[in-house]
A and B are shown apart, each in its own frame.
Chain A
Amino acid sequence: MRYAMAIDTLKCVGCGDCVVACQTENNVPHGYCRDWIVENVSGTYPNLDLEFRSERCNHCDNAPCVRCCPTGASHIEKGGIVVVNHNECIGCGACIQSCPYDARYPHPEGYVDKCTFCMHRVEKGQNPACVDVCPTECLHFGDLDDPNSKVSLALKNRSHKVLAPEAGTKPQLYFLT
């Protein structure tokens, strides 16, 4: 089993609903977030391109944050989900420095926090909160090992990219283009 997410940049409108839903679902304190929106404008008026991306932890196959964690708090769970065990985390921040996606933040309670793909929901067969709330249904989540999962089908039928492939982290967030 290998969980992944595909984000349809042709449909995302950058509304930030995924961010709010994550905050209320996971009790992320105000001023912090586990997912966020990037707006990328290129060209000059009136020949322009605009891409919105809902970004979060890439749950990398080759995760630098896990390798550099001195306590083993950052680890990989079933399905490839990268998780921080809050009780084992000493808040040193090495993982924050190592992440090419800037996906982690220091929680005010002294540990490092990040997206868990809503593991507490996924374990019960639910989608992550951001996926279920998105008004444009531009987020697809599922198991890459299942050829009929939403994410597998999206990647099969559409062109896509990953962020910072040169970092060699084998990220599992795919952006449909």
Chain B
Amino acid sequence: MGFSALGAKGFSFFESEKQGPVSDEDLTPYPTYCEVCFWKCAGWTYVDKKGDIRKIIGNNDDPHCSGRLCPRGTGGVGMYYDEDRLKTPLIRETKADGTQYYREASWDEALDLMAEKMEKLRKEHGPECLALFSHGTGGKMLTHLVKAFGTPNITAPSFAQCRGPREVAFTATFGEDVMSPERTDIRDTKCLVLIGSHIGENMHNGQIQEMSHAIDNDATIITVDPRFSTAASHSKYWLPIKPATDIALLLAWTHVIINEELYDKDYVKKYTFGFDELKEHVKNNTPEWAYGITTIEPHIIRATAREMAAAAPRTLVHPGRHVTWYGDDTQRSRAIAILNALLGSWGRRGGFYNPEKVHLPSFPHPPYPKPSRSWKDAYPEGKYNLVSEVLSTGICDATIPNADLDCHLRGWIVYGTNLMASLPDQRKTIEAIENLDFLVVIDTMPMDITGYADIVLPECTYLERYDFVRTSPHREPALALRMPAVQPKYDSKPNWWIAKNLASRLGLSDYFKWDKIEDVLDWQLKQVGSSLEEMQRIGVKKYKREYDDLFWLEGLPDYEFNTNTGKIELYSTELANEDYDPLPKYTAHPEPEQGYYRLNYGRAPMHTFSRTSNNPNLSDLMDENSVWINPKVADLWEIKNNQYIWLKNQDGVISSFPIKARVTERIRWDSVYMVHGFGHTNKKLTRAYGKGGSDSELVTKVVMDPIMGGTGMRGNFVTFILENPAKENKEDKA
């Protein structure tokens, strides 16, 4: 006791200045926008007189956050202070006995080696054999570099593993996609319909703030979710749907809205194509039909359809974001788009608005070389014609040698995305990596993917660097600046420095004709009447909209949509031309065998995927995930609350680490649920290693969306193992 008291006091002598609050007047704010998730809220990094970052506070002028960051943005300081950060470049070496290890290297050595490998690849196989996986703002500079190098293979998991189906479906219907941040007018809606979208647990800041306004305005919220989500608990109606049956519910709603003539007749007549075909298509999709499939009672289906119609056009059937579930996701997103069209909410207040962005010209550079091949060549001609972005899983396919495919990728650069957690079917990812000539990972943290790299480059965090100015679209166009609040810790460097120094080694200096990124930013900002100096002062600059067309279909003006017919296509001619169903159909999906449960996964508000699980501030709030199990199921298995168990999926894959059971009424008896992003396998993540379960390793069955290559990941089933399976194996061997 005496010892600890002394120890504590001794320590406080040095730390005393850090203790207790510091008045804002004694802190210097530097503008930034957040990089903990893709919402990119603008804020201020407060630095004290000693040069320590104390806190990050939202920028009041920013339309993304209105001055209020989410827990991850507030906890972004932890990214900077995390002592497990990558500290110096690392090069993989092999000892004489075959064991491998990472050797610390200088930047010159690491970049020389990387350039040498890229040069060899360019000479021997062509620049198109390089792929870049990039997630986050910093990837833009690397994208510029690899385009200059000559490859079109630039991808992110955000399409094929996330929002791709919705973008393809909305484009097929309205001729425009949903964008990010979503163009959803939740703030002014009178009826918000969430289908598997767990706003409040997915902490998309603007959406959660607007949902809160909608609650203030007494908006009706209808939540469809097999789990009693946070959003469900704030809803007037919670529809506890049987998983994988959403399209049946959507068709039944469509049936009711058409048959009871609740749709927006003027809007539908003026703007839509294929209403009669739709009416015929859903004529048998009665609520009674859907009841047998969804387990939602017919009177609830009717009541909710009428609520939606009563509030229309200020009814928003939310398109969701992570929508790659069952492989027919483009069709489900189409059914959502069609409902919005019938209710007349596209282009109207309380539905979908027309976002606008500031167009910043690129800093002048020579034209990019024209690539002669792309990842798509790996597939038979005509496949994925409607795909608007590069498929991350397509990059894997184009890397694994296959007699039937033209596979040609040999080098990967992975920036800011932990492919071990962000791609399904880890075995396939590993097989692709094993076929590479080289893999370079650029990250701030030793994520699981870094263990597969030949070269690891440590980037400094967003709080220590400039990046390109944020221009993302919103109701009001706005710019946001990120500038360093402090110098980079350790031997980490910003992405722009890495790209520029790599370019000079590859003979691509013409694409980087500037000394430092400040020159680029200042030049760009001056093209739109601002300057770096101004942005350093204000952080966010709002611009006036060019046209007064936020709700461009109010008053039903003449309007031509960017589709084949120029109309909103209830019946999709584009899908028909590609031989896909022009109207969404319900198809039954496989169900778990006895003793198995559907594996559902989602988000926790204080974490972003797997990237924050080691953050000291955020792991303090939640340091492991749990598997949610209904009490009836737990009784059958004699599983107690908080008991550690293991999960085994339908392919025999057993979770690497034990996961805590959370016995809760909030989940159905036919499925289990866990928060994505835990169960890290890299021991260098000292807080996150071995904590909780990884849903990614259990998602070995992937149902591909034939229309756009999305990876449906919710067709995996797990059962429970109560004793440590590692022990069992040892005993078997003995």
Interface residues of A (CB under 8 A from B): 10-11, 13-17, 19-21, 23-27, 30-31, 33, 41, 43-46, 48-52, 86, 108-110, 118, 120-121, 124, 132-138
Contact = CB atoms under 8 A, between A and B. Distances in A.
Interface stretch (B71-79, B493-501, B509-517, B712-720): B71-79
Given A17-B70, A20-B617, A48-B233, A109 B12 contact: yes
B348 interface: no
A46 B294 CA distance: 14
Contacts of B5: 110
Contacts of B665: 41, 43-45, 48
Contacts of A45: 228, 240, 630, 665-669
A21 B65 CA distance: 15
Contacts of A109: 8-9, 11-12, 19
Contact of B616 (A16, A21, A30, A132): A30
Given A13-B208, A24-B617, A25-B55, A133 B228 contact: no
Contacts of A134: 68
A65 to B, nearest CB: 20
B617 A120 contact: no
Given A41-B665, A109-B9, A133 B617 contact: no
B238 A46 contact: yes
Given A24-B55, A135-B203, A137-B212, A15 B233 contact: no
Pairs of residues from A and B, 10 with the lowest C-beta to C-beta distance, nearest first: A13-B200, A15-B605, A50-B233, A136-B212, A24-B55, A17-B71, A46-B240, A20-B74, A20-B75, A16-B621
B664 A108 contact: no
Contacts of B201: 13
Contacts of B9: 109-110
A132 B208 contact: no
B233 A27 contact: no
A52 B230 contact: yes
Given A13-B201, A15-B203, A21 B74 contact: yes
B209 A20 contact: no
B605 A13 contact: yes
Given A23-B617, A45-B666, A15 B8 contact: no
A74 B91 CA distance: 56
Contacts of A121: 21
Interface in B68-93: 68-71, 74-75, 77
A11 B668 contact: no
Contacts of A118: 21
A100 to B, nearest CB: 24
Contacts of B616: 30
A110 B9 CA distance: 8
Contact of A15 (B200, B240, B630): B200
Interface in B167-214: 200-201, 203, 205, 208-209, 211-212
B621 A26 contact: no
Given A27-B20, A110-B9, A133 B58 contact: yes
Contacts of B667: 45
B77 A11 contact: no
A14 B199 CA distance: 12
A86 B668 CA distance: 49
Interface in B374-415: none
B304 to A, nearest CB: 15
B723 interface: no
Contacts of B342: none
B533 interface: no
Contact of B228 (A16, A19, A20, A50): A50
Contacts of B238: 46, 48
A19 B621 contact: yes
A48 B203 contact: no
B208 A135 contact: yes
B485 to A, nearest CB: 14
Nearest to A29: B19
A23 B620 contact: yes
A138 B228 contact: no
Interface string B482-520: 000000000000000000000000000000000000000
Contacts, number: 138
A107 to B, nearest CB: 9
A44 B667 CA distance: 10
Contacts of B587: none
Contacts of A21: 55, 74
B481 interface: no
Nearest to B228: A48
A8 to B, nearest CB: 9
A10 B74 CA distance: 23
Contacts of B232: 50
A141 B552 CA distance: 39
A26 B339 CA distance: 48
B215 interface: yes
A136 B620 contact: no
Given A16-B605, A48-B665, A110-B8, A27 B19 contact: yes
Given A16-B71, A20-B606, A26 B20 contact: yes
Contacts of B209: 135-137
A135 B212 contact: yes
A120 B228 CA distance: 40
13 contacts: A10-B234, A13-B230, A16-B621, A44-B665, A48-B228, A48-B665, A86-B20, A109-B8, A118-B21, A135-B69, A135-B70, A136-B208, A138-B212
Contacts of B208: 13, 15, 135-136
Interface string B20-33: 11010000000000
Contacts of B622: 16
Contacts of B65: 135
Nearest to A126: B24
A27 B21 contact: yes
A171 B232 CA distance: 30
B54 interface: yes
A24 B70 contact: no
A13 B205 CA distance: 12
A25 B664 CA distance: 34
Nearest to A14: B230
Contacts of A30: 616-617, 620
B129 interface: no
B18 interface: yes
A19 B21 contact: no
Of A10, A41, A136, chain B has the most CB atoms within 10 Å of the CB of A136
A80 B486 CA distance: 39
Contacts of B211: 136
Contacts of B205: 135
A34 B692 CA distance: 26
A108 B71 CA distance: 24
Of B54, B56, B67, B208, chain A has the most CB atoms within 10 Å of the CB of B208
A134 B618 CA distance: 16
Contacts of A120: 21, 23
Of B8, B240, B665, chain A has the most CB atoms within 10 Å of the CB of B665
Contacts of B233: 48-51
Nearest to A19: B621
Nearest to B240: A46
B521 to A, nearest CB: 28
Nearest to A42: B665
Nearest to B632: A45
